[in-house]
Structure 1
């Protein structure tokens, strides 16, 4: 995970989404593109981490295949 993505982990979760976006942009030094890139990379890292801990059986059965 990048240092910038790690900064986003320290941002407080707020009910005000606009304030959270402003805080993320501020953490990226004011560069919106860098902020978006860090969020995308952070999301990718989370997806990869979850893929490693979710069992293959659960993935095969899936949530939508209930009978």
Structure 2
């Protein structure tokens, strides 16, 4: 694939930063909006990296994308 290794474009994040602070014992809402660049069946997860602990994966979901590919320059 021409887009191999980069099949998604992040359109929006809320909070807008890639790194943000979550206060202890709290709930922080977040969202990521992405555009698929080519059709396919994808299994995706959220991932939360915690300082001095490491990464943790959230629940996964399967996404089916159809339509024409969007080729990146």
Higher strand content, 1 or 2: 2
* Same fold at TM > 0.5: no
- TM-score range relative to shorter protein: under 0.3
TM-score (norm 2): 0.23
Greater helix share, 1 or 2?
A: 1
